[in-house]
Amino acid sequence: MESLIIVLVFAVLIIFTLGMGVRIVPQGSKHVVQRLGKYHKTLSPGLNIIIPYVDTVAYKVTTKDIQVDVAPQECITKDNAVITTNAIGFINIISPEKSVYGIENFHSAIGALIQTSLRSIIGEMSLDSALSGRDHIKAKLKQAISDDIADWGITLKTVEVQDVNPSATMAKAMEAQAAAERERRATVTAAEGEKSAAILEAEGRLEAAERDAKAKIVQAEASQRSIEMVAKAAQHGDLSVHYLLGEKYVQAIQQAATSNNSKTIILPADLPAAIRGIFGGLGK
Average pLDDT over residues 86-97: 91
Distance CA 216, CA 211 (A): 9
Using an 8 Å Cβ cutoff, are 25 and 31 in contact? yes
| In a shared domain, residues 111 and 30 | no
| In a shared domain, residues 47 and 70 | no
Domain assignment of residue 243, yes or no? no
Q: Is 60 exposed, middle or buried (0-12, 13-18, 19+ CB in 10 A)?
A: middle
| In a shared domain, residues 89 and 35 | no
Domain containing 119 equals: 66-166
Q: Which residue has the higher pLDDT, 153 or 131?
A: 153
How many CB atoms lie under 10 A from the CB of residue 61? 17
What pLDDT is stored for residue 281 in this prediction? 46
Distance CA 10, CA 83 (A): 69
| In a shared domain, residues 24 and 87 | no
Using the 3D structure, point to which of 166, 185, 212 is the last residue of a domain: 166
Q: Which of 136, 122, 116 is nearest to 166 (CA)?
A: 122
| In a shared domain, residues 12 and 72 | no
Measured in residues, the chain has a length of 284
What pLDDT is stored for residue 282 in this prediction? 44
Average pLDDT over residues 4-21: 81
Domain assignment of residue 279, yes or no? no
Q: How far is CA 243 from the centre of its chain?
A: 84
Domain assignment of residue 173, yes or no? no
| In a shared domain, residues 83 and 43 | no
Domain assignment of residue 44, yes or no? yes
What pLDDT is stored for residue 32 in this prediction? 93
Average pLDDT over residues 68-76: 87
**pLDDT above 60 for 235:** yes
What pLDDT is stored for residue 34 in this prediction? 93
Average pLDDT over residues 177-206: 81
**pLDDT above 60 for 11:** yes
Q: Is 117 exposed, middle or buried (0-12, 13-18, 19+ CB in 10 A)?
A: buried
Average pLDDT over residues 105-132: 88
| In a shared domain, residues 120 and 42 | no
Domain assignment of residue 84, yes or no? yes
Q: What is the CATH number of the domain that holds 145?
A: 3.30.479.30
| In a shared domain, residues 55 and 73 | no
What pLDDT is stored for residue 202 in this prediction? 84
Sort residue 28 into left (φ over 0), alpha (ψ -120 to 50) or beta. Answer: left
Domain assignment of residue 244, yes or no? no
Strand 46-49 vs strand 22-25: parallel, antiparallel, or unpaired? antiparallel
Domain assignment of residue 241, yes or no? no
| In a shared domain, residues 53 and 92 | no
Fill in the DSSP letter of residue 44. Answer: P
Using the 3D structure, point to which of 27, 60, 93 is the last residue of a domain: 60
Name the least confident of 52-56, 109-113, 215-219, 221-225: 221-225
**pLDDT above 70 for 76:** yes
Distance CA 189, CA 12 (A): 95
**pLDDT above 50 for 82:** yes
CA dihedral 16, 21, 25, 29 (to 10 degrees): 110
173 phi/psi in degrees, rounded to 5: -65, -40
Using the 3D structure, point to which of 21, 37, 60 is the last residue of a domain: 60
How many CB atoms lie under 10 A from the CB of residue 95? 18
**pLDDT above 50 for 195:** yes
**pLDDT above 60 for 100:** yes
Handedness of CA 74, 68, 129, 173 (dihedral sign): negative
Total count of domains within the chain: 2
Average pLDDT, the chain: 79
- What percentage of the chain exceeds 90 in pLDDT? 17
**pLDDT above 90 for 259:** no
How many CB atoms lie under 10 A from the CB of residue 82? 14
| In a shared domain, residues 19 and 109 | no
Domain assignment of residue 228, yes or no? no
**pLDDT above 50 for 94:** yes
What pLDDT is stored for residue 59 in this prediction? 92
What pLDDT is stored for residue 247 in this prediction? 61
Q: Which residue has the higher pLDDT, 40 or 277?
A: 40
What pLDDT is stored for residue 45 in this prediction? 92
| In a shared domain, residues 72 and 54 | no
| In a shared domain, residues 77 and 147 | yes
